[in-house]
Chain A
Amino acid sequence: MAKRSAPEVNAGSMADIAFLLLIFFLVTTTIETDSGLNRKLPPIEEIEDPPIIKQKNIFTVVVNKNNQLLVEEDLVDISDLRELAIEFLDNGGGDGEDACDYCQGARDPKSSDNPEKAIISLKNDRETSYKIYIAVQNELVAAYNVLRDREFMRLFPNESMSFVEANKKYSDPRTSPEEKERLKPKLAEVKLLFPQKLSEAEPSKTN
């Protein structure tokens, strides 16, 4: 008995194990992708006669060189910005053809007529820090997203997901074309209810 040597381990299945592991890692690892806030710059051509916009339809956000936030000429904290922007966009103070039947805001006649007309104007100083600027942008986009989520849930309760999730699903390459085709008009409809009108003025010079 003692003389017998250990039998050689069969290595034939080693390759299978290696491939199994390889496939496991292939499936589970995700390549790091960048993410960020998508924005569209206005074209440089000057519009001949710019449309007249009522002051009450403009929500001015100014970030000064000390990174302080002025909303409608009041000094506010950035944590209140989202709420203020939602109030403004969702106000629906117009009547007649400007009325907004889906708005749930205060219907204050001094604030925006409807989301279609409501414009957020963001102005920054050359000395404003980029971090703060991104934080402000983030909060303003968040305001739009909150309202779009609400409308999406109201219009399409069967989807059982929010606008942001649906949008993510739509832009995901793994989603099937049929699913995309199905989501596309729904997303477009909600986008139309709350169009993202975020105007960026050219920065003021520091004196």
Chain B
Amino acid sequence: MSKFKKKKGGDLPAISTASLPDIVFMLLFFFMVATVMRDSTLMVKNQLPAADQIQKLDKKDRVMYIYAGEPSSRYADKYGTQPRIQLNDKFATVSEVGAFVLSERASKRQELQNVLTTALKVDGETKMGLISDIKQELRKVNALKINYTTRIGDYFQNID
């Protein structure tokens, strides 16, 4: 009869959950390392032009970002479709660029204040007039090191 007896200790042992914290921590660390912090949300279209003679822009603490392009579709009905400048989290006019650079510079450590680079993240469809205006403002505040941020690609992708 023992054949038909219910098994007593035969059920599966509970899976140990002792390693669960490890897995969770692992995932946590992974995402902590791999994510790029973006300190401002983009409010403009930002399809960067392509270039291949590029240099890396490392050391994030030495860079300040200026975005420009057409307002993205969420903001289009409020701000129109003319290309605009975005500084931090809001739209700005050309005349505000100088003040922005000065305040950014003041917020950096003393020894970095002279080695700051301005990264221009400008949408490919923007006209050069706006960029020239920005460059003129940057020259006025003596922020002469600039970087035209691009994506990696052949110049041919810029011609349509």
Contact = CB atoms under 8 A, between A and B. Distances in A.
Q: A and B bound? A: yes
8 contacts: A11-B16, A29-B33, A36-B51, A36-B148, A126-B127, A127-B127, A128-B127, A131-B159
A171 B127 CA distance: 32
Interface string B120-159: 0111111111011001101110111111111010011011
A36 B120 CA distance: 9
B132 A203 contact: yes
B124 A129 contact: yes
Interface in A133-188: 133-135, 137-139, 141-142, 145, 167-168, 171, 173
Contact of A36 (B18, B36, B125, B149): B149
B56 A134 contact: no
A79 B132 CA distance: 25
Contacts of B9: 3-5
Interface in A21-56: 21-22, 25-26, 29, 31-44
A134 B158 contact: yes
Interface stretch (B19-27, B71-79, B85-93): B19-27
Contact of B147 (A25, A32, A36, A168): A36
Contacts, number: 190
Label chain A's interface by main secondary structure: mixed
Given A41-B145, A78-B159, A141-B53, 14 more contacts: A15-B22, A18-B23, A21-B26, A34-B147, A35-B150, A37-B53, A38-B147, A41-B139, A126-B127, A126-B132, A129-B128, A134-B50, A203-B128, A203-B132
A178 B56 CA distance: 21
Nearest to B17: A11
A18 B18 CA distance: 12
A21 B26 CA distance: 8
B19 A35 contact: no
Interface in A79-101: 79
A6 B13 contact: yes
A74 interface: no
B55 interface: yes
Contacts of B16: 8-9, 11, 14
Contact of A130 (B19, B54, B124): B124
A64 to B, nearest CB: 11
A36 B126 contact: no
